[in-house]
Chains A and B, each alone.
Chain A
Amino acid sequence: MRLAGALALACLTACGQADDAYAKQSGLAPEDLKSGYDFLQAETQALQDDDFANPGFLWVDKGDALFHASEGAPSCASCHDGTDQDLTRAAAHYPKVDDLSGRLVNLEGRINLCRERHQDLPSLEYESEALLGLTAYVASLARGEPMSVDVSGDAEKYYEAGRDYFFLRKGQFNLACSQCHNDNWGKNLRGDTISQGHGTAFPGYRLEWQDFGSLHRRLRDCDAGIRAEPLPYGSDTYTAVELYLAKRAEGLPMESPGVRR
């Protein structure tokens, strides 16, 4: 029934065909999609489920305060609270191509563009406490919203670049992301169960870090783990990977601020 529906849709619209193609490229069947949450032990899941015990909310609270504070310029909230520029659910649709520059930006990049263009404030350093806080706050507004990004038009080349990085063998171990997260998820890697490598919990709190971090920090750890050279924070390649991962995780709910091991 489901297949027949999918086929009918594919015949009707080119869009349906494209979606099938994306599912195939991701290496994960849509019904197999599992959040990183499902690979955690019960205690870590409990930490994420309790909005007080979840340490990520320290950053959400900080971001909330920054969002509503005016540092010599109108606050973020003056444009975004209770207007048609409301940010509820916005984070589930990032990264996105910026109309003015034609470049792909993630949430961090969008916040910095907003500061420069509309608030006349300097951009914040990647992974600074202020940028982490603001990103955490904006991402938390989209909690529960299914991931859904646009990879058509200008975004297509970034999607392809991200996908290529995901399947590229690299580092001293000569491993591609796909070899763990597509081919071997659910199996054990020393003490851990290999997840599918979705970024839906980020920005999030990692117990290993004892700290809150962006998806780029997580990707840097992945690259270091396979003994490849990590790319700089905010690099175009990581942002493209972020887009690929978001498309790959399409339909999974946003969990930021998530808790991961």
Chain B
Amino acid sequence: MIRISIPDTAKAGEILDIKAMIQHPMETGYRRNGKGQVIPRDIITSFECTYGGVIVFKAGFQPGIAANPFLSFCLRAAQSGPIEFKWTDQRGETWSETRELTVS
């Protein structure tokens, strides 16, 4: 599951609050299960947000990040275009979601 909070429309120059959350266990690799076996590491390693194809926000994740990571950042509305949110895990698997922003 992915949750994204972003307005559909904005005025040029307006500063937008953007929030994004993805459901992911962010398993650290340091924990053991009930039988004493190590639970293998399973984390998201990077997040990218592109606006009209240009990277506007990027984050690298480490095992210390909590499960279901929640990111909040700001963006200045310039022109109408797609905003893509993309998460990549340690195996290279990706999840993404795109929202259209209309700037007037």
Q: Is A210 an interface residue (CB 8 A)?
A: yes
Identify which of residues 225-256 in chain A touch chain B, using a CB-to-CB cut-off of 8 Å. none
Contact A211 B67 (CB under 8 A): yes
Give the interface SS of chain B, mostly helix, strand, loop or mixed.
Answer: loop
Q: Residue on A with the closest CB to B67?
A: A210
Encoded as 1 (CB less than 8 Å from any A CB) or 0, chain B from 70 to 85 comes to: 1000000000000000
Q: Kindly state the separation between the CA atoms of A204 and B68 in the bound complex, as whole angstroms.
A: 14
In the complex, what's the smallest C-beta–C-beta distance from B62 to chain A, in angstroms?
Answer: 15
Distance in angstroms between the alpha carbons of A35 and B67 in the assembled complex: 25
The answer for the CA separation of A53 and B72 in the assembled complex, in Å, is 10
CA distance A58 to B21 in the complex (A): 8
Closest beta carbon of chain A to B5's beta carbon, Å: 5
A125 within 8 A of B: no
Q: What's the Cα separation between A61 and B26 when bound, in Å?
A: 20
Give the number of chain B interface residues (Cβ < 8 Å): 12
Given known contacts A52-B5, A52-B19, A210 and B70 CB-to-CB distance under 8 angstroms: no
A77–B66 CA distance with the chains assembled, in angstroms = 34
**A206: shortest Cβ distance to chain B, in Å?**
11
Contacts of B3 in A (CB 8 A): 52, 57-58, 61
| A55 touches B (CB below 8 Å) | yes
Contact string against B for A residues 164-208, beta-carbon threshold 8 Å, 1 for contact and 0 otherwise: 000000000000000000000000000000000000000000000
Binary contact readout A41-62 vs B (1 if CB under 8 angstroms, 0 otherwise): 0000000000011010111011
20 contacts between A and B (CB under 8 A): A52-B3, A52-B5, A52-B21, A53-B21, A53-B70, A55-B68, A55-B70, A58-B3, A58-B23, A58-B68, A59-B1, A61-B1, A62-B1, A210-B25, A210-B26, A210-B66, A210-B67, A210-B68, A211-B25, A211-B67
